[in-house]
Structure 1
Amino acid sequence: MKIAGESPTVFQPALAAIRFGTGRSPLHPDPEAPAAMLAALAAPDAAAGAFPVSPVEDVLHWVEPMRELQRAGRGADAQRLELLREIRKAERPYEAANLAAVLARGIGAGDGFRDRLTLFWADHFATAGRGPFLRNRVDSYVDAAIRPHVAGRFEDLLKAAVLHPVMLKYLDQTSSIGPESRVAQKGGRGGLNENLGREVLELHTLGVGGSYGQQDVRQMAELLAGVTMTDELETVFRQARAEPGAEHVLGFSSNARRDRMWDVEQALTYLARHPDTAAHLSRKLAVHFLSDAPPDDLVTAMTTRYRETGGDLAQVYAAMLDHPASWDPTLHKIRRPVDFVMASLRGLGADPRALVTMAEETPQRIYGRFMQPMRFMGQDWNEPEAPNGWPEEAAAWVSATALSERLKWALRVTELPGVPQDADPVRLAEAGLGALLPEEVRFAAGAAETRREGIALVLVSPAFQRR
């Protein structure tokens, strides 16, 4: 789908809001230029303050009661099960509140670029909550480890994400010990777990086609073996769990006599600055924002900028936004369910504060109106199918079942609090699509028998589904 009469080499405000943001809005102007989008990234994150996400620390008050019951041994099994049920019940509202905050940020954002980047990097470092304390804390992880670093240096983002307790627990790093470690020599339970080491190389940095082998995976796992989590949910390095001796990962070598956490961080810095990482991340960004098959010269320009700046992500985004391909009016991608929900409410001019109020007063409605529908659309919030995150291919999101679920949700969107009671299908079409609005969609919006049906027709139209 193209914007009629537009040049593919010229910045287009409406396209910027749709392709790189969370959608067009009747309440917020489209971005003025790439420079304005980058300046907004450099500015303070006002949305995070306006719609806060509950931090991991909010769960710490459960740690000591659980520890006491664990010390009591098997005689306290019944009490432990009861406490686990109590924790699960108490934590579920936090999951609803955090999702409401994420959606509210995207709906009320100035241009939505920061929110889209946060979703991209959260998917790149995909996790799911594991264990009684962290089960519902993925959004807390994203808010602490990812969102603050989306416009900084990749090495800082990499360290924050990889070494966060939610990631360590998700990839079973907390059970990993070196085969020759002191803990292993004393008969300690567990063994070397390669999950985190493999994903750091294969997914987070060099990519599947990167210049590493199984020996590098093994050495990275041994280097990480001492990294674990305390009962207070803090990341630490336990020397007794670490594999003795130096480790060698591609061109990096650790120093057995040095602080091993320092070595872990240096290894991550080395991987972040590797040429393979520059190419892998640049292509992945281009695929996410532009096309499943982005132009090679765009990826090359982004890769070159990455290498020149040592992984300065803002500069990589600048290279992407400066390239003519970014303003090719052909829309190749399909909005994922969370993008679709954000863009729909944003296009309707919904009040983001209403979602936060809903989560505070009736958190079960967040599950019923957002989380469950997104699951039926194909995106089980905070439960990706694997560490490689959600599919990028447009075709993955256009099955008959998924589109049917989008229609069901769209038919009920006007019932949501915060959606203006006078929401009009034609105004939605004009506000949500701007220059991309096909005449047939405008006609269908105006000709619908009911306002509800007209709004749903706009939201499920191919023009609105694409970005």
Structure 2
Amino acid sequence: MTRDTAHFALARFGMGAAPGEASAIAPDPRGWVLEQLARPASPAELIDLPDHARILRRMAELKRERAEGNGKGELRQLYVSEAGARTRAALTSPTPLIERLVRFWSNHFTVSAARAQVAPIAGAFEREAIRPHVLGRFRDMLRAVVRHPAMLAYLDNAQSIGPNSPAGQKRGKGLNENLARELLELHSLGVDGGYTQADVEALARVLTGWTIDPALGSFRYVPRQHEPGPKQVLGLLLDGGEEEAEQALLMLSRHPATARFIAAKLARHFSADDPPVALVDALAKAYRDSDGDLLVMTRALVSHDAAWAMPQAKIRSPDDLVIATARLLGPDRLKPEESDRRLVQTLALLGQSPWSAPSPAGWPDRGEAWIGPDALMRRLEWAKTQADRWGRGLGGGVLDEAIVGGAATRQAVAGTKGAEALFLVLASREFQRR
């Protein structure tokens, strides 16, 4: 193996190369990737953050106290601190593949901090519903996601009430189909997965009663809000209260269309905007054969030759770019006491505020979304700012680590130094892609 392959592994399956890393893993880059699946790390940066229930109870207290100014500041700080801790975890983790998987699945099951009631618990959602399951079974992640207050609030299921339920008849309120629709279209089967509007409506009825306990700040099932009577979702007959939703989620997790949809998204994220058919086929088969075991599926991904082809086929998203830059320069550049707010501002400037995708479909995973004329100009301006700030006295070994495989960039950098050299690296094709 060569340092080129090692650098490729660090960019595609990790979060970018830190100084010395490419040389360290060069003897066996594939082994380095597979080893992470055997011993995933739990980031220390995330240990002391509050859980969603504690945050929601605090939000209720602030509402009762009508603490408008200070309350909003406190909740905003929770969001900023979560974003900073998540980024530092990606910088320091010995298993960066896990950090990439967390981001992939968090984006697949998007919740948006654009909603005031979601923003303070968006980080908790990722820590509680996504992170524990990235190497588990898809059905367990799906269930954790749907029951989490962040998702119930974001897609309005907390307010969805069966029209013929006791609560619905008393209050005159009815169904909200948002969660049911996105469960089918975005989270499991995919838009071409064979469901109908009747399936959406039936699944919305199945999900009634799945809501948030305002006193405890956690999930609860409320029988008097649940739509009574039988429902049929994709041919599955359901008639059993809370258990209806449990059965529906299990059925969706085992559907062949779900295997294909998840496989295509995972292959697109890790290989190319238009992933090789052979890779998608292999991942779908791994999913089906293992009953949705994401460890088996991920191992199939990183073991497949097609996943190691087409180097630098993906454009780095703003989040990827910021983390790769910080890994190149060293994690001490992102100290929490000075950088969390700056980090959030930077990602907003570059067009990817943490947990703030513009729709339930999540952030786009195709290159054209990130390199339009305006976006490209912002990237270059940001690269210039970083180069001016950190480039002075930067060692040649750091820059050499960043441009493995980039002959043209290496030649351009050869006659420069300091800030100018760092800017050429950060703005280069090699660094802007993974």
Q: TM-score, normalised by structure 2?
A: 0.92
Please state whether the residue corresponding to 1:229 is helix, strand or coil.
strand
| Equivalent in the alignment of 1:41 | 37
Please state whether the residue corresponding to 2:410 is helix, strand or coil.
helix
| Equivalent in the alignment of 1:465 | 432
| Closer/same/farther in 2, CA of residues 223 and 155 from structure 1, 3 Å limit | same
| Closer/same/farther in 2, CA of residues 140 and 306 from structure 1, 3 Å limit | same
Question: Contact 1:42/1:151 (CA < 8 Å) preserved in 2?
Answer: no
C-alpha distance in 1, partners of 2:183/2:116? Answer: 25
Segments of 5+ residues of structure 1 without an aligned counterpart are 7-11, 70-78, 359-364
- Displacement of 1:378 in angstroms is 2.0
| Equivalent in the alignment of 1:25 | 18
| Closer/same/farther in 2, CA of residues 45 and 57 from structure 1, 3 Å limit | farther
| Equivalent in the alignment of 2:263 | 282
Task: Provide, for residues 406-458 of structure 1, a one-character-per-residue CA deviation record: whole Å limited to 9, x for no partner.
Answer: 22222233677xx797423x433321243x2x22212322333x512321220
* 1:74-85 mapped onto 2 (5 Å cutoff): 80=66, 83-85=67-69
| Closer/same/farther in 2, CA of residues 454 and 312 from structure 1, 3 Å limit | same
| Equivalent in the alignment of 1:93 | 77
| Equivalent in the alignment of 1:170 | 154
| Equivalent in the alignment of 1:104 | 88
Task: State, as a whole percentage, how many aligned pairs show the same letter.
Answer: 34
C-alpha distance in 2, partners of 1:267/1:233? Answer: 25
1:223 to 206, 216, 224: 206
Please state whether the residue corresponding to 1:388 is helix, strand or coil.
coil
| Closer/same/farther in 2, CA of residues 174 and 414 from structure 1, 3 Å limit | same
* Structure 2 residue 340 is the aligned partner of structure 1 residue 366: yes
| Equivalent in the alignment of 1:442 | 410
Segments of 5+ residues of structure 2 without an aligned counterpart are none
Question: Contact 1:429/1:441 (CA < 8 Å) preserved in 2?
Answer: no
2:142 to 137, 158, 162: 158
The one-letter amino acid paired with 1:402 is A
| Closer/same/farther in 2, CA of residues 45 and 190 from structure 1, 3 Å limit | farther
- Displacement of 1:383 in angstroms is 1.3
| Closer/same/farther in 2, CA of residues 103 and 251 from structure 1, 3 Å limit | same
2:8 to 2, 15, 38: 15
Question: Contact 2:163/2:173 (CA < 8 Å) preserved in 1?
Answer: no
How many pairs does the alignment contain? 430
- Displacement of 1:150 in angstroms is 0.5
C-alpha distance in 2, partners of 1:84/1:215? Answer: 43
* Structure 2 residue 312 is the aligned partner of structure 1 residue 328: no
Q: What is the alpha-carbon root mean square deviation over aligned residues? A: 2.5
| Closer/same/farther in 2, CA of residues 290 and 25 from structure 1, 3 Å limit | same
1:429 to 399, 402, 409: 399
2:375 to 373, 378, 402: 402
C-alpha distance in 1, partners of 2:196/2:278? Answer: 28
C-alpha distance in 2, partners of 1:189/1:48? Answer: 48
Question: Contact 1:27/1:349 (CA < 8 Å) preserved in 2?
Answer: no
C-alpha distance in 1, partners of 2:44/2:2? Answer: 37
C-alpha distance in 2, partners of 1:40/1:176? Answer: 41
The one-letter amino acid paired with 1:230 is D
Task: Provide, for residues 277-320 of structure 1, a one-character-per-residue CA deviation record: whole Å limited to 9, x for no partner.
Answer: 00000000001111111111111111111100000111111221
| Equivalent in the alignment of 2:336 | 356
C-alpha distance in 2, partners of 1:37/1:338? Answer: 21
* Structure 2 residue 122 is the aligned partner of structure 1 residue 143: no
- Displacement of 1:181 in angstroms is 1.0
- Displacement of 1:35 in angstroms is 4.8
